[in-house]
């Protein structure tokens, strides 16, 4: 079982990349779980035909109790991907990071991995703040590999640097390691050069170069991943190539 955490600045497109990677892996016959670790709880929406999923924290607020089965907090999406969203607290109240930790503990109690026996688990994690619960996939053994999503924009690279540095600080503890960078192009000046400089500074490979594509927007308007909507498009082929690279490791 491969356990991969995808980190990146909010709004950088990591949910789009994660769900398309999940779709590409599923098309190739792999059993995939995607866990959205963002208070917005929108990581898996394009795997689910545009339907929002009841988050774990949302369930607990609504029913004032923990769910007793996986079926109450999960749904099958495109290619059979099992989708779960941690969600977050009521805005202005509580800590979103604690919500992630509470969700992970609950999934252990429900024996998620033992029951599903997945080939790949993808965690889609907000990377603006790498502390507390947001660092749980790195620190607590839930993920083995980290992929960092960035563009050539200044704040995206700033967040990417914080993520890489945080993982490096855990290096001597046997926690997850950064396996590489995913360039999600925004077509800013010197974009490739800037991302290459960042990757070199941290001695990381650029594992994927995702072109800016109208096909992604067209797919998301229909509640779909681009891998489902236009599997032969160049941007979809980039996701299939990334999936193949991950499976070869």
Query: Quick one: average pLDDT of 178-206?
Result: 97
- Higher pLDDT: 249 or 15? It is 15
pLDDT the model gives residue 129: 65
Point out the catalytic residue in the list 42, 128, 145, 209. 128
Is residue 3 part of the annotated active site? The answer reads no
Task: Quote the pTM value.
Answer: 0.94
pLDDT the model gives residue 40: 87
5-14, 170-179, 221-230: the lowest-pLDDT one:
170-179
Q: Are β-strands 74-76 and 82-85 bridged in parallel, bridged antiparallel, or unpaired?
A: antiparallel
Is residue 154 part of the annotated active site? The answer reads no
pLDDT tens digits along 51-104 = 999 999 999 989 999 999 999 999 999 999 999 999 976 666 666 677 788 899
Rounded to whole angstroms, the Cα distance separating 110 from 74 reads: 12
- Higher pLDDT: 136 or 161? It is 161
The secondary structure of the chain as a DSSP string is -EEEEEEE-TTSSHHHHHHHHHHHHHHTT--EEEEEESTT--TTGGGTTT-----HHHHHHHHSS--SSGGGSEEE-GGG-EEEE---PSTTSS-HHHHHHHHHHHHHHTTHHHHH--SEEEEEEE-S--SGGGGHHHHSSS-SEEEEEE-SSHHHHHHHHHHHHHHHHTGGGT--EEEEEEEE----TTHHHHHHHHHHHTT--EEEEE---HHHHHHHHTT--HHHH-TTSHHHHHHHHHHHHHHH-
pLDDT the model gives residue 38: 86
pLDDT tens digits along 195-235 = 999 999 999 999 999 999 999 999 999 999 999 999 999 99
pLDDT the model gives residue 113: 95
pLDDT the model gives residue 205: 97
Domains belonging to the chain, first-starting first, are 2-248 (3.40.50.300)
Mean pLDDT of all residues belonging to the chain: 92
Point out the catalytic residue in the list 9, 30, 38, 124. 9
pLDDT the model gives residue 140: 75
Rounded to whole angstroms, the Cα distance separating 86 from 160 reads: 22
Are the C-beta atoms of 137 and 125 separated by less than 8 Å? yes
pLDDT the model gives residue 142: 87
Burial class (CB in 10 A: 0-12, 13-18, 19+), 69: exposed
pLDDT the model gives residue 45: 98
Confidence of residue 134 (pLDDT cuts 50, 70, 90): confident
């Amino acid at each position: 079982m491969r356990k991969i955490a995808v980190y990146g600045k909010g709004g950088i497109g990591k949910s789009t990349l994660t769900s398309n990677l999940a779709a590409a892996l599923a098309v190739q016959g792999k059993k995939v779980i995607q866990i959205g670790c963002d208070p917005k709880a929108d990581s898996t929406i394009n795997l689910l035909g545009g339907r929002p999923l009841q988050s774990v924290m949302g369930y607990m607020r609504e029913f004032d109790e923990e769910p007793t089965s996986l079926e109450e907090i999960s749904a099958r999406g495109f290619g059979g991907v099992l989708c779960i969203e941690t969600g977050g607290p009521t805005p202005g109240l509580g800590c979103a990071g604690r919500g992630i930790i509470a969700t992970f503990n609950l999934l252990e109690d429900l024996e998620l991995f033992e029951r599903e026996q997945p080939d790949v688990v993808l965690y889609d994690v907000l990377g603006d703040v790498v502390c507390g619960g947001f660092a749980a996939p790195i620190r607590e053994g839930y993920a083995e590999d980290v992929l960092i999503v960035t563009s050539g924009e200044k704040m995206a690279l700033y967040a990417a640097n914080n993520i890489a540095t945080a993982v490096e600080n855990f290096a001597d503890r046997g926690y997850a390691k950064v396996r590489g960078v995913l360039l999600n192009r925004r077509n800013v000046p010197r974009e490739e050069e800037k991302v290459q400089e960042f990757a070199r500074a941290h001695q990381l490979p650029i594992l994927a170069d995702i072109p800016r594509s109208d096909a992604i927007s067209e797919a998301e308007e229909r509640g779909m991943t681009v891998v489902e909507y236009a599997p032969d498009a160049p941007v979809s082929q980039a996701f299939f190539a990334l999936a193949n690279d991950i499976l070869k490791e």
